[in-house]
Chains A and B, each alone.
Chain A
Amino acid sequence: MTTVDRGAVTRMPEPTREWWRPVTWAVVIALAAWSLWGLDARWERLLDAPADLWDLGRLLFSDMAFERTGDLLVDMWESIAIAWLGTIIAGIVALPLSFLAAENLAGRFTTLVVRQVLNLLRAIPEVILAIAFIPLLGLTPMAGVMAIGVGSIGTLGKLFAEVIEAIDDAPVEAVDAVGGSRLQRLRWGVVPQVLPEISSFLLYRFEINVRASAVLGVIGAGGIGGTIAQTLQFKQFEVAGLGLVIVVVATIGVDIVSGAIRRRILRGPSRG
């Protein structure tokens, strides 16, 4: 064991070769090339785009209409309200569904069906839902609430179900052992265990929904998005710019507050 194989030391390790790597690359490049040729995007305008963007940025942010701050904050509050109510509605619907989607609580067939329903709901963007709700509820914030609400059920239900599947079985068995009904089993065996994580997921979804609801106004479902879209359309750039700043600041603010509460919920009270 004293001689060292010099060749082995100076040789670099062999790169791993797997057949699927070149195939994947070929597929990706072919897709990109197909899109590049096929897309009728008036590429000549791409060269002007940086200048156009710069001009728009200057129009938006050089001379913001601060006298409109109050109105815009009211609009932003409406967006936040839409997001909160939507999240609450989604949570109320998603919780029972998630019991049915959890494999440790419901039968195989039930979980399979409920999960597919949740997946389907998850695939539809809120904006499409808003388009469907606007003719039913009018150009009102309620259309936004319903779009956000229905759009969040899928994701929340799936996340809740995953939390429920990870619980400790002992408390559930204990409730069964003292003769608890099915409902009592959920109330005392399951809910206390999952409540912290579920409320933190609700808050997380609320953060996402604040962004989503700021957008819904663009198509007329209430909130600050509508103001931004209209002022851009009528070239009142000084108002639109301030609106964008308010959206960015408000979403970051909501993230910070809600993130702090989430961490406190999951970590429990800090000691020392």
Chain B
Amino acid sequence: MTDAAVDRLPPRPAPGRFTVLSGLGALVLTVLTARAVDFDPTGLVTDLTRPNSVVEGLLDPDWSQIWSRRSRRAFIETLQLAVLGTAGGSIVALPLALYATDYGAPNRVVQVVLRLINSVIRSLPDLLWALLFVSAVGIGALSGLLALFFFSIAVVSKLTADTLDGIDRGPIEAGVAAGASNTSMLRTAVLPQILPSYVSFVLYGFEINLRASAVIGLVGAGGIGERIQFFQGRGEWDKLWGLVLLFFLVVFLVERISIVLRRRLV
């Protein structure tokens, strides 16, 4: 072994065409999008470091909001919206997912229609649902409930459908061989397999809905969001943050409990 051989580093492998192209693509996209939103880093820093009531309120939040009657009612309404929306949506999501599978669909037309419904429901975000229901049904908690209902269907049916694709097909065959109808086959051969995952998706849907239920009020769909907008309009940031932080403390606790439960289930 000569010294030259030791000193020489092995040739560095050249990056592949895909790496170069996607890197360049990402760079070009970043430049184009920065132009589209007038990205200005120095202006951003001065805007964010200027003394302002938003940050002052965040550093010194007013916790007394929980004792104000209106805020407390909005708070409870938010929780109730999340519970009902999740419960209703999850119940509907289960058959929607079951009858959209290859083995559960009574016929091809039903399957295609259900899949179409599923993907359209899924492609709209929570706040847009709320906006639509507010303009159809009017301002109030009912719109929020309907929005969360559809939103839960989207979340739970998507996750359940993914689980349904991966189940053991043996029990299905057994059910069909024993002459079970489509529905009783699904009930006895498929449901027991996915039930633990399904319940954990429902819990996950509840977490998401709880968070969504705080914001749908911003478009007039009930709950805590209406109070948030009220405080924002009056510039009372200390009260706004007090309410928001309390709410997310609740969300955080619910999430911890739900994660523990979900771990036990799956």
Residues on A close to B: CB < 8 A? 28, 31-32, 34-36, 38-43, 45-46, 48-49, 52-53, 55-56, 77-78, 80-82, 84-85, 88, 119-120, 123-125, 127-128, 131-132, 135-137, 140-142, 144-146, 211-212, 214-215, 218-219, 222, 225, 228-229, 232-233, 244, 247-248, 251-252, 261, 264-265, 269
A124-B248 contact, Cβ under 8 Å, with A218-B127, A228-B128: yes
Distance of A88 Cα from B37 Cα, bound (Å): 14
Mark contacts of B224-239 with chain A using CB atoms, 8 A cut-off: 1 yes-contact digit, 0 otherwise: 0000100010010000
Task: Give A241 to B54 CA distance when docked, in angstroms.
Answer: 35
Shortest distance in angstroms between B71's beta carbon and chain A's nearest beta carbon? 16
Interface digits, B1-37 against A, CB 8 Å rule (1 contact, 0 not)?
A: 0000000000000001010001000000110111011
Give the residues in chain B near A214, CB-CB below 8 Å: 125, 128
Q: Is the interface of B mostly helix, strand, loop or mixed?
A: helix
Contact A125 B215, beta carbon cutoff 8 Å = yes
A218 to B216, CA, bound (A): 11
Q: Which residues on B sit within 8 Å (CB–CB) of A247?
A: 123-124, 128
Q: A81-B32, A123-B248, A131-B228 are in contact. Are A41 and B141 (CB under 8 A)?
A: yes
Q: Are A82 and B127 in contact (CB under 8 A)?
A: no
Q: Is B127 within 8 A of A41, CB to CB? A: no
User: In the complex, A79 Cα to B228 Cα: how many Å?
Assistant: 24
A128 touches B244 (CB 8 A): yes
Q: Is the CB of B80 within 8 A of A82?
A: no
Residues of B within 8 A of A41 (CB): 140-142, 145, 222
Provided the pairs A42-B142, A52-B136 are in contact, do residues A123 and B52 lie with their beta carbons within 8 angstroms? no
Q: Give min CB distance, A268 to chain B, whole Å.
A: 9
Among B170-215, those with CB < 8 Å from A are 211-212, 214-215
Known: A39-B77, A41-B140, A261-B22. 9 other contacts (CB 8 A): A28-B87, A32-B83, A41-B222, A132-B58, A140-B37, A146-B48, A218-B218, A229-B219, A247-B123
Contact among A52, A82, A124, A127 with B218 in the assembled complex (CB-CB below 8 Å): A127
Q: Are the CB atoms of B215 and A128 closer together than 8 Å?
A: yes
Nearest CB of chain B from residue A15's CB, rounded to whole Å: 11
Q: Is there contact, CB below 8 Å, between A125 and B214?
A: yes
Name A82's contact: one of B37, B40, B50, B84 (CB within 8 Å).
B37
Chain A residues closer than 8 Å to B77, beta-carbon distance? 38-40
Can you list 13 A-B contacts (CB < 8 A)?
A: A40-B77, A53-B136, A81-B34, A123-B252, A125-B215, A141-B37, A145-B39, A215-B128, A222-B37, A229-B219, A232-B135, A252-B119, A269-B18
Nearest Cβ in chain B — how far from A197, in angstroms? Answer: 15
Q: Which residues of A contact B40 (CB under 8 A)?
A: 142
Partner of A78, one of B36, B52, B145: B36
Nearest 5 pairs of A and B residues by beta carbon: A81-B33, A35-B80, A141-B37, A81-B36, A56-B136
The answer to whether B36 touches A77, judged by C-beta atoms less than 8 angstroms apart, is: yes
Asked if B106 lies at the interface with its beta carbon under 8 angstroms from chain A, I say no
B87-A142 in contact (CB<8A): no
The proximity string for B residues 39-64 relative to A, scoring 1 for CB distances below 8 Å and 0 otherwise, is 11000100110101110001000000
**CB–CB B123/A251 < 8 A:** yes
Nearest CB of B to A92, in Å? 11
Q: List the A residue with the shortest CB-CB distance to B264.
A: A20
Contact between chains at A128 and B38 (CB < 8 Å): no
